[in-house]
Chain A
Amino acid sequence: MSDSIKEDKTIDLKGLPCPMPVVKVNKGIKQVDVGQVLKAIASDPGALTDFPAWAKTSGNEILKTDQEGDDIIFYIKRLK
């Protein structure tokens, strides 16, 4: 269950190691409009620390992080 967060686009980053998850999430966020939400599914455990660092630096907001099995699911709102 993902509460009330509705994603506008989903990208699959499973099986990708560093640096691909951040490179691709940075590309993916540009494919949604400002204010919209990108759902990114990664499997690299490093993403748990990397994505918040990326979001902070790139000025986007991680609304929620879920873990289902090996999947790490981020809901990211594009802020600019």
Chain B
Amino acid sequence: MENIQEMEKQIAALKAQMDGFDAKVTENKLSMIVFSGDLDKALAAFIIGTGAVAMGMEVVMFFTFWGIPILRAPDKEGKGKDMMSKMFGWMLPKGASKLKLSKMNMGGVGTAMMQSLMKKKNVASLEQMIELAAELEVKIYVCEMSMGLMGFTREEMIDYPGLTYCGVAKFLEEAMNSKVQLFL
């Protein structure tokens, strides 16, 4: 009788452990933080992201800080902004087509040269890569705190399917369950 009770206890303990394992299982997922707002780094982020989908992975990209302007729509305006928010809006690139290279920008000449080279060599533009990401169901999260800090509003962001605003906990939840995590 005592033996059975002991065994039941052990089984219960094992079950509790198994539940813990379930929560720890990593998914075939890539979680990426896009912190940078440079053209070259944003391109790298989307190339890795779309490539990962091709490799059979689920992909989530978190845009924060300088990465947020990548997702601004060139033809939309935010409403009811204060002076500081407007200034951020003017000083930061309005969308993927306005980003600059992190090196060799040379007052815009370098970036223009790179863009014409990319066209010549058939390399997809950043806007095309964002469209491809949407088609491949790459999930995009945007940091709510950075949005507020820089004074960006939701109505000035691109129409991206399933775009979600979140905080650090959402990223960490995804990162904890991801095989690969990157910070760009």
Contacts and interface: CB of A to CB of B under 8 A. Distances in A.
Contacts, number: 36
Nearest to A26: B54
A56 to B, nearest CB: 10
A23 B132 contact: yes
Contacts of B47: 18-19
A54 B122 contact: no
A57 interface: yes
Most chain B CB within a 10 A radius of its CB, from A17, A19, A53: A19
Contacts of B51: 18-19, 22-23
Contact of A22 (B54, B121, B122, B124): B54
Contact of B54 (A17, A54, A59): A54
B122 A19 contact: no
Interface string B21-57: 0000000000000000000000000011011011110
A67 interface: no
B53 A23 contact: yes
Interface of B: 47-48, 50-51, 53-56, 121-124, 132, 136
For the complex of A and B, the 10 pairs showing the least CB-CB separation, nearest first, are: A26-B54, A19-B51, A22-B54, A23-B54, A57-B55, A58-B56, A19-B47, A17-B123, A19-B50, A15-B122
